[in-house]
Amino acid sequence: MRPQLGPEMVDFRTRGFLTHDARAREHLEERAHAFITGFNLAANDWAGVHEALAGLPDELRGFAYEGAGMYGGLLGTVRGRAATATHLLSYGGARYPHLIHVGWGWGSTPLRTAALVPLAPTPVLKWLGLDGAGFGLGFFCGTKRALRIVERARGARRTAMVAGVGRSLWFANCADPGRIADLISSASAVDTEELWAGVGLAAAYAGAPDPDASRVRHLAELSGRSENAFRQGLLFGVVAHHTSGHSEGVAPTMASNVLGLSPRQATAIADDALEGLAGDESIAAYEQWRRRVREAVAA
């Protein structure tokens, strides 16, 4: 029997998330449900997964590929990780490398292991799987418990996972800037920057139903000394949208406005920051890439 995920797994009330903003809840739950859909479509027909995902709306397909990435990560433990990841990153999946690597890391949540696969042409992206693992922990275990769990990791691995926990704050707090800032202020100083980086990525990729950038600008103000980390997260979210060919939506447009960069310019910054690192699959290269981006988008 093929595994299936139920919609209750991402229901905000069931998870104990904030639900005070009905429009934001609907917006974010729709994206979380797309993740579930992607996982289930991949489980139902792995060989035809790309055709199935192609039928989804453009603004939701990336989340569905993330869900398919989680299934791929689990399937890879049986069928072989490299072959499984190569299949998912081919055809339509070639436009969603960031989301697939992140989703692959989601599979680490139940397995409690980071089974990451370096693939050409940018093996450094495999470390996004640690971000995915951190997000899964934050989404299902809560922020405080997730941070306790990631303490088992050390150095740059921990840093990457904390950013994922930060991304989950956007969902758990219904995109409420004040609530997110309060929670981050209560975390340890060593985690603050990475939590803000994760929030920035979620704000730029998942977004909110606002017609303007006021919510994202408010977050930038609240991030204080961590604003460069927040802006780096925003840029990564914009780049993921641009790579998929869907950079005209509300979320990337708001983030681009705050950054003062077009999606094409944001992508050029990320690409330039990879100079000399793209073929390096070490965690040190991933960290250097993120540092270079933070320097490039410094407020």
Let me know if residue 281 belongs to a domain.
yes
> Does the global pTM surpass 0.85?
yes
Q: For residue 2, is pLDDT > 90?
A: no
Which tokens hold the place of 55? 């039928």
The dihedral built from the CA positions of residue 184, 274, 208 and 136, taken in this order, carries a sign that is negative
Q: Report CA-CA distances (Å) from 283 to 67, 129, 160, 230.
A: 24, 11, 9, 20
Domain that holds residue 115: 17-296
pLDDT-above-90 percentage for the chain: 76
Domain tally for the chain? 1
**Three-state DSSP class for residue 281:** coil
Q: For residue 119, is pLDDT > 80?
A: no
Let me know if residue 3 belongs to a domain.
no
Let me know if residue 7 belongs to a domain.
no
Output the CA torsion 18→131→61→209 (10° steps): 30
Give the model confidence (pLDDT) of 128-185 as tens digits. 999 999 999 999 999 999 998 888 888 888 999 999 999 999 999 999 999 999 999 9
Q: What is the mean pLDDT of residues 181-192?
A: 92
Q: For residue 115, is pLDDT > 70?
A: no
Report the pLDDT value the prediction gives residue 111, as an integer from 0 to 100.
Answer: 46
- Please give the full DSSP string across 183-243, using - where no structure is assigned: HHHTS-HHHHHHHHHHHHHHHHHT--S-SSSHHHHHHHHHTGGGHHHHHHHHHHHHHHHHH
Report the pLDDT value the prediction gives residue 290, as an integer from 0 to 100.
Answer: 97
What mean pLDDT is reported for the chain? Answer: 92
Do residues 160 and 283 make contact, with C-beta atoms less than 8 angstroms apart? yes
Report the pLDDT value the prediction gives residue 99, as an integer from 0 to 100.
Answer: 96
- Please give the full DSSP string across 33-81, using - where no structure is assigned: HHHHHHHHHHHH-STTHHHHHHTS-HHHHHHHHHHHHHHHHHHHHHH-H
Do residues 180 and 199 make contact, with C-beta atoms less than 8 angstroms apart? yes
If one compares 253 and 28, the residue with the highest pLDDT of the two is 28
Let me know if residue 113 belongs to a domain.
yes
Dist. CA 46–CA 49, nearest whole Å: 5
DSSP label at residue 275: T
Give the model confidence (pLDDT) of 221-279 as tens digits. 999 999 999 999 999 999 999 999 988 888 888 899 999 999 999 999 999 999 999 88
Q: For residue 60, is pLDDT > 60?
A: yes
Report the pLDDT value the prediction gives residue 113, as an integer from 0 to 100.
Answer: 52
Let me know if residue 266 belongs to a domain.
yes
DSSP label at residue 274: T
Report the pLDDT value the prediction gives residue 199, as an integer from 0 to 100.
Answer: 98
Which tokens hold the place of 287? 């960290």
